[in-house]
Amino acid sequence: MFNSLNDQADPRASGEVIPLHTAQSASSPANSAQTESAPEPQQWFRQIVAAQLQGLAALPYGVGLNDGDYQQLLDWLAVPELSELNLQWQASSPTGQRAELYQQMCQLKADELQSLRALLLEHCRDHQDPANHWMLEIIVHACMAPSHLWSSLGLSTRAELGVLLHFYFPALAAANTQRMRWKRFFYRQLCQNGGDYVCRAPSCGECSSFSECFAPED
């Protein structure tokens, strides 16, 4: 059923995300204080939501959030272009059908999704900030797709994903000292935590898939 998804390693290949206004507040819903050097969280959300609505991200409709959280996210972003794209959304369109396939994939992998959710929740930067929980849900749903995590999210590069993860999950991201591909790193953490996702190789150096785990993605 999901062969068509595997044929698109980079879901952004069919186009580019629409330009969005960047003159938005850098504040989060729970905390408006941001340091001058901190990235602007809303920009990541704008890019991911825009990519999903255009069929350029490997995410279900609503980017993995429930209806209430998704609407709250759109209200927080307050970007007219996104609101217009959302109003134009049609489940019967090719983009809508593709998003439905990703939704079905997430439902089939509910246990796996929950394991990843628990891992990221343990390392969440700010449990009081709704934006942290929104990003967590978006990331774990993107992990269900077969493509690289950064492209599943509609981001531009692996490096961009690295900045995002260091911002929202700093302790977990800092533990990736060998620069593993992020999705592989998450599953390795689940394995080390005694989960069911066990790598059968005795060590990374002896594994035939070494290049798949450590090769650059960008």
* 3 state DSSP class of 65: coil
Tokens, residue 129: 């900030």
Per-residue pLDDT tens over the stretch 95-144: 999 999 999 999 999 999 999 999 999 999 999 999 999 999 999 999 99
DSSP letter assigned to residue 154: T
Residue 4, CB-side half-sphere exposure with 13 Å CA sphere: 10
Q: In 3D, which of 17, 2, 21 has the Cα closest to residue 155?
A: 17
- With CA atoms as reference, report the closest residue to 51 among 79, 82, 26, 28: 82
Specify the higher pLDDT residue, 36 or 74.
74
For the ranges 32-41, 79-88, 95-104, 152-161, the lowest mean pLDDT is seen at: 32-41
Cα separations (Å) of 48 from 18, 32, 135, 189, 195? 11, 21, 10, 25, 29
